[in-house]
Amino acid sequence: MRKFVELAGGKDAPIVAIPTASSEADAPEYYEKLFREEYGCTNAVSLRIRSRADASRPDYAALARKAGGIFFGGGDQIRITGALLGTPVGDAIAEAFRRGAVVGGTSAGTACQSEVMITGEGDFTVIRAKSVETWRGLGFLPPDVVVDQHFVRRQRENRLLSLVLEHPDLLGVGVDEEAAIWVRPDGTFQVLGNSCVMVLDAKGASVSRQARDTGQDALGVHGLRVDVLLPGETYDLVSRTVGAPR
């Protein structure tokens, strides 16, 4: 969170929180208080967006467009994409990002960042095809990257592994609780926080399938690459290698 505030331009920078994912009525106040009291931000506001109509408000779009930092709160990521994609506020956030604003989020606010977005629906007790539901996300990460969250703490390896084996071109990035990835303009990310990030890469592996009566093929793999990155370590999303930036 401190890195987010720094990248946004510091404590006096305009920061916009979007608590759309949450079902809690006081979520807007929570995020404003968090930024103002915990991180000393003097110009932090929440956009109370519950619907596409809310995301069409010109005043909200103007705030998003001039923001130095845009932060998505936790909850259900489908609420974020359902309300924002193809709306004036959604377009303003994309414009701010292209201009250089930092976009971040926690939990559902992490999941929504990739173009292929895991919704949280499916059977995560198996490693099988068609066991993980995905929707279109906001697309602020490279298009071949899919991100999962609460990764080690909630033992979500099966769902990300199933998705990566079913779509080997996708690079799976599992971000644990108390960890974050700082994705930089050169296509690398650095792990921040106190826990780890796991990267699953099946692009060069041999993926196998065995048919099941349910239509959900069992998935196997030989040569899968798994990297577990600790705080301070970096990863290149373009070359899919651990280490320093290119």
Residues designated as active site: 107, 150, 177
The residue whose two tokens read 């999941």 is 111
What residues contact 34, with CB distance under 8 A and at least 6 apart?
17
110: helix, coil or strand?
Answer: helix
User: How far apart (Å, rounded) are the C-alpha atoms in residues 130 and 150?
Assistant: 22
Which neighbouring-strand residues pair with 175? Answer: 149, 197
Query: 100-139 as b/e, with b when 16 or more CB fall inside 10 Å?
Result: ebbbbbbbbbbbbbbbbbbbbebebebbbbebbebbebbb
Structure tokens at 140: 């602020």
CB atoms within 10 A of CB 25: 8
